[in-house]
Amino acid sequence: MAFSARGGTTKRTPELSIVLPAHNEARRITPTLKAYADYVGDRGQIIVVVNGCTDDTLAVVQQLQLDYPRRIVVVNIPEAIGKGGAIRTGFANARGQVIGFVDADGATTVKDFDRLRRALDGHDGVIASRWMLGSRVYNRTSVLRRIASKAFVLLTRILFGLPYHDTQCGAKLFTAKLVTTVQPHLRHRDMTFDVELLVLARRFGFDVIEQPTVWTDYASATFTSPTGFIRASLAMLLSLLKLKLRIMRTPVV
Ligand X SMILES: Nc1nc2c(ncn2[C@@H]2O[C@H](COP(=O)(O)OP(=O)(O)O)[C@@H](O)[C@H]2O)c(=O)[nH]1
Contact residues for ligand X, defined by CB under 6 A: 21-23, 25, 49, 51-52, 80, 82-83, 86, 103-105, 170, 218-220, 222
Q: Residue 52 binds which one of Mg ion, ligand X, none, with CB within 5 to 8 A depending on kind?
A: ligand X
CB-based contacts of 157: which residues, under 8 Å, 6+ apart? Answer: 163
Is residue 140 involved in binding Mg ion (CB under 5 A)?
no
Q: Residue 51 binds which one of Mg ion, ligand X, none, with CB within 5 to 8 A depending on kind?
A: ligand X
State which residue, 97 or 216, has the beta carbon closest to ligand X.
216
Residue 38 CB, shortest distance to Mg ion, in Å, is 21
State which residue, 219 or 237, has the beta carbon closest to ligand X.
219
Residue nearest to Mg ion (CB): 218
Is residue 105 involved in binding Mg ion (CB under 5 A)?
yes
Residue 240 CB, shortest distance to ligand X, in Å, is 17
Is residue 124 involved in binding Mg ion (CB under 5 A)?
no
Closest CA to 131 of 151, 108, 150: 150
Exposed / middle / buried, residue 219 (Cβ in 10 Å: 0-12, 13-18, 19+): middle
Residue nearest to ligand X (CB): 220
- Contact window for Mg ion (CB under 5 A) among 129-137, 191-199, 212-220, 239-247: 212-220
φ and ψ of 16, to 5 deg: -145, 130
State which residue, 81 or 155, has the beta carbon closest to ligand X.
81
- What pairs with residue 138 in β-bridges? 216
Is residue 229 involved in binding Mg ion (CB under 5 A)?
no
